[in-house]
A and B are shown apart, each in its own frame.
Chain A
Amino acid sequence: QLQLQESGPGLVKPSETLSLTCSVSGASISSSSHYWGWIRQPPGKGLECIGSVHYSGIPYDSPSLKSRVAISIDMSNNQFSLSLSSVTAADTAVYYCARLSYSSGRYYFDLWGRGTLVSVSS
């Protein structure tokens, strides 16, 4: 059974870089049929997609966050990672990792991790 688990610091200082890792179990991250991505949800607010990456390295990042986001894949450890630079309090959110599957010419999010809260504060 496929499972995704986020890990990383729960507190990051303003202007620093937020770094999270998603460990995938029950399936190989090197599947050609899937992308792997990140979504966030500020407390009490809606959902925002951050970006995704294919095992081949092809990225698909948020137009609004693109300059601050880097998503990478580590096939040897079956995990992928998120880096978000120059963070501010507005980046405080629950961060989810997720798998994307293909259908009808597009990829959609079909399985999510449980999420991890990251707070940005000095």
Chain B
Amino acid sequence: AQSVTQPDIHITVSEGASLELRCNYSYGATPYLFWYVQSPGQGLQLLLKYFSGDTLVQGIKGFEAEFKRSQSSFNLRKPSVHWSDAAEYFCAVGDRRDYKLSFGAGTTVTVRA
């Protein structure tokens, strides 16, 4: 069965600094990989997804993620964070057969001025 680990529960970053959120997955084949963001009181918004092809994926809000098969990782990055990026971020892996998602526990990002 697939699983996702997000090692960092909480990250604090200064506005304008770079951000990297870690995600490791366990899956028997090439997975579908996703990053979602949840702002307070909001739903889960898709930032980006990887199905195949180029391992560097561009998403919305200036985020990107890189799929590294050798490390079973799909880390999320942003070169310069804005105060509005403060939120909870979830990595997820999808099964290619049944279209259900398995989520990581999430990483809360705090942005300080």
Bound pair: A and B? no
Q: Which residues of B contact A (CB under 8 A)?
A: none
Q: Which residues of A contact B (CB under 8 A)?
A: none
